Structure 1
Amino acid sequence: MSSSLSDIVSAADKAGPCAPFDVAPDDATRRMLVRWQHVYGPVYRIPAPQGGARRWVVHDPAFVQHIMVRRAARYGKGLGLDRVRLLLGEGIMVSEGAFWTRQRRLIQPAFKPRRLADFNAMIGHENLALAERWRAAACDDTAVDVAAHISELTLVIVLKSIFGADYSRLVEGASNPFSLLSEEATRDLRFAARFHRLGRVVESIIDTREDSDERPFDFLGHLLAARDRDGEAMSRRALVDEVMTLIVAGHETTASALAWAWYEIARHPEVCARAQAEVDALDEQDIPGLVDHASDRLRFIDAVIHETLRLYPPGWLLSRRAVEADAFGDYEIAAGDQILISPYVLHRDPTYWSMPDCFSPARFLQQGVPSQRFAYMPFAAGPRHCVGEHMAMTEMRAHLVTMLRRFTPVYAGEHPPMLESRINLRPGDGVPIRWRVRQELS
């Protein structure tokens, strides 16, 4: 049973919509959360279909902090977990409790900035290869779908960062078995079955690694070497689940964010010009050492990334489940209650953002933006904060710096890209761009 605006009454009359609504990672849910925010404010309840557990929508930053940080131990993963588990088994995106804590501790060291810096040369090389493709398209005055191209780029980067030298074995015969992640948008049971079969490919590489004395530096090498406090390694099943999780999480979110960034940069020539001026001031040889951390020399590039993530947070809907009773102010949360938090809604709330629907990277150059810390959280927050944030930021900086030094984008679509709200928020019909080669760098 769905809800509509006819079900919405004034906040003075009700604490939320009266009709049950089946919350899911889809466009209908995103649209209704935006509408309900205007009527019911930052905290309200939605009746669950078939009389299930109470469902709270929380977009008060202090309440969000309470749930995700201060009382995080009282909340587990919530709605939508089964759909993700179909793909990722018990990887850290979906696992909980003591098992999740152990896995997070084993994985976390691989994402320290000094370890990730060794991937910078590879990331730069892959971006230069894509730049040559875009240069050829520019010479032919052909529009390219940057969403598709960047999806391919980020997939190669994540696979090479996981498998290192074994990447060449993975794509023997010029066929990448993981290309279905870029080629298929639907995440249904059929897709899940195909994706699961790729676990055998991962296991074959693990078998080869275990039979070898070599200990290469890559994510798989780290996971194989990781030991818990008792000296125990991950089980084979856990290892495969974490590898598959890294592939999906490290690919789709970054790809979606960069596609949206190009759409907005192309639509705002003044933003493009300011970003190009910043990257033109860099020496080419300094770029690899700059992109893997926040730098005053890339402040505006970072602002472009943050503003893109504000308007188009890939993880646009987060859910939690109360594992025990809790309270925040006058709100009483019962064990089993479901909590829904949408960064998409929070990031566009005029209470915390001026002109919230406008693309304005300069806002992130101001002190105190946003006015509330938990009004902006594209990588979630608290103990389950995205472990790959640093690598994602490095990839996005490297990509934008490389391409803006060489090209000026011109949006070639007749209408804005369709917002497709699935597990990630992505452009559903592509982002067509015509590239103009910058003469001074051609």
Structure 2
Amino acid sequence: MERLLGGPPIRTVTVDGEAAEFLTDPVLVRRVLVKDGRHYGKGELFQKARILSRAGLLAQDDAQHRHYRRLAHPYLRTAAVAGHVPVMEEIARDTVASWRPGQPVDIQAQMCRAASGIALNTLFGALPRETSHMLGEHLAALSWEMIRKPLYGKATRWRKPSQRLATAFSAFRSLLVSCVAGRVNSPDDTAGYLSALLTDTGRGTVAALSTDQVCDEAVMMLTAATVTTASVMSWALYLLAEDPLVEEKVLKDLAQTAGWDAGAPSGHGHGPPGYALRFLMEVLRLYPPVWLTCRKALAEVTLGERVLPAGTHVMFSSYLLHRDPDRYPDPHRFDPDRWLTTRPTGQDASYIPFGAGARGCVGEVFAWKELETLLGAVAREWQLTVPPGSRVRAAPHTTLHPERLLMVPHPR
């Protein structure tokens, strides 16, 4: 795939028999996402057989998308994220407390469990302990199946999801329907985004969501928050174990700081980012969870020297953009200190782990704080090692995740 970097900035490719224009120029990608973002809608090449919401935040209609983005924002802005930290820390501690010295753990499954608990208890309000546990277990199972779902190719050509994915989806959604049903007539103002969805009456041309659509939106929000965090944290813990010097620097930084400001998570704040943040920035550079993206031209557009008709699929890969040697010298080397001199500027799309523009990740601030919290909870308590002879490979599925990652915990 990296051979595309040496070619023209726009190249026609075929995905599952459909033509698309593939972009490798970060300036053109930013044009699609930001400057001319209104002329592009969600692409359809990687939407096949997905079982997520088609309304709310994933709506094709810009007005509807903006409405639900504004609805979610109060629960994901900097001040709200700061209030979520105690819950994040408690769930992170509970997750790592279940590990036993010398007994291998499936890191991806564990990170799915932690991230699902955090998503449920911060974005959807306090739940009875038993309900929270059941929802969390089913959400973790659904998220793991979503992570492993092929994004394109022969494996996506069936009309229905795989049996495991369908079963996990049905089990989680059924529990969620019961939970939502109990709040329809008496929504709790403290119940986060779920309460906002239930009490929303729509605005202008945007109709309120039905109860079924609220459930679908909840599944989408919770699953998206879980699969991306679990994938990034799995890579982070693996890379931490691979380099003792990096691990030592991360631990030292975590011990000396009380965490970075959630309002400036991407290194845009004053002064260079601390080492733990640089470490996570580098993890996201090499292994962005949303590694391949598609947009569709809503009208005729001019992109570079090309005129593209309405309906044209436009693709780009953050994985490739982040490994461009013109932007990142020695791009395959894991080097957190490159962020001392290389800073995301927002002038192009050379670093977009959370996307950019009006449809960029609404939960970016939340995600940075969650990653920091999980990294600290694990690294302070356990040193993780990979069993001898293990070979960890990248699996480019719905997210870019380790194909298999068993690690052995040793107490600090």
Query: Paired residue for 2:124, among 145, 148, 163?
Result: 163
Runs of 5+ consecutive residues of structure 2 not aligned to the other structure: 150-160
2:80 is equivalent to residue 106 of structure 1: no
Q: Which moved more, 1:170-179 or 1:242-251?
A: 170-179
Contact 1:315 1:423 in 2 (8 A): yes
**1:71 aligned partner, one-letter code:** D
Deviation per CA, 1:246-292: give whole Å up to 9, x if none. 1110100000000001111111111111111111224xxx55x8667
Contact 2:75 2:123 in 1 (8 A): no
Pairing 1:46-61 to 2, within 5 Å after superposition = 46-47=13-14, 52=18, 54-61=19-26
CA distance in 2, matches of 1:335, 1:270: 51
Bigger radius of gyration, 1 or 2? 1
2:62 is equivalent to residue 88 of structure 1: no
Matching residue of 1:253? 228
CA distance in 1, matches of 2:30, 2:239: 30
Tell me by how many angstroms 1:119 deviates: 1.7
Taking only aligned residues, the RMSD between alpha carbons, in angstroms, comes to 2.8
Deviation per CA, 1:229-260: give whole Å up to 9, x if none. 45974332332222111111010000000000
TM-score (norm 2): 0.86
Deviation per CA, 1:70-89: give whole Å up to 9, x if none. 00111111133532643334
Tell me by how many angstroms 1:209 deviates: 1.5
Q: Which has the higher helix share?
A: 1
Q: Which secondary structure does the structure 1 equivalent of 2:86 belong to?
A: helix
2:18 is equivalent to residue 44 of structure 1: no
**1:419 aligned partner, one-letter code:** A
Paired positions, count: 394
Pairing 1:153-232 to 2, within 5 Å after superposition = 153-170=114-131, 176-182=137-143, 184=145, 186-187=148-149, 188-191=161-164, 193-194=166-167, 195-196=169-170, 198-212=172-186, 214-229=188-203
2:289 is equivalent to residue 314 of structure 1: yes
**2:124 aligned partner, one-letter code:** F
Contact 2:143 2:223 in 1 (8 A): no
Taking structure 1 as reference, are residues 176 and 130 closer, same or farther at Cα in structure 2, changes over 3 Å only? closer
Contact 1:152 1:182 in 2 (8 A): no
CA distance in 1, matches of 2:222, 2:166: 16
TM-score (norm 1): 0.80
Q: Which secondary structure does the structure 1 equivalent of 2:52 belong to?
A: helix
Taking structure 1 as reference, are residues 237 and 307 closer, same or farther at Cα in structure 2, changes over 3 Å only? same
Query: Paired residue for 1:269, among 234, 244, 247?
Result: 244
Tell me by how many angstroms 1:398 deviates: 0.7
Matching residue of 1:15? none
Contact 1:292 1:393 in 2 (8 A): no
Matching residue of 1:407? 382
Query: Paired residue for 1:433, among 386, 407, 411?
Result: 407
Matching residue of 1:3? none
CA distance in 2, matches of 1:410, 1:241: 38
**1:34 aligned partner, one-letter code:** E
Query: Paired residue for 2:81, among 116, 122, 125?
Result: 116
Taking structure 1 as reference, are residues 298 and 437 closer, same or farther at Cα in structure 2, changes over 3 Å only? farther
Contact 1:87 1:192 in 2 (8 A): no
CA distance in 1, matches of 2:321, 2:216: 31
Matching residue of 2:109? 148
Q: What is the aligned-residue identity percentage?
A: 25
Matching residue of 2:350? 375
Higher relative CO (Cα under 8 Å, sequence separation at least 6) belongs to: 2
Contact 2:112 2:140 in 1 (8 A): no
Q: Which moved more, 1:221-230 or 1:109-118?
A: 221-230
Contact 1:278 1:297 in 2 (8 A): no
Runs of 5+ consecutive residues of structure 1 not aligned to the other structure: 1-32
2:372 is equivalent to residue 397 of structure 1: yes
Matching residue of 1:127? 92
CA distance in 2, matches of 1:202, 1:280: 39
Tell me by how many angstroms 1:102 deviates: 2.5
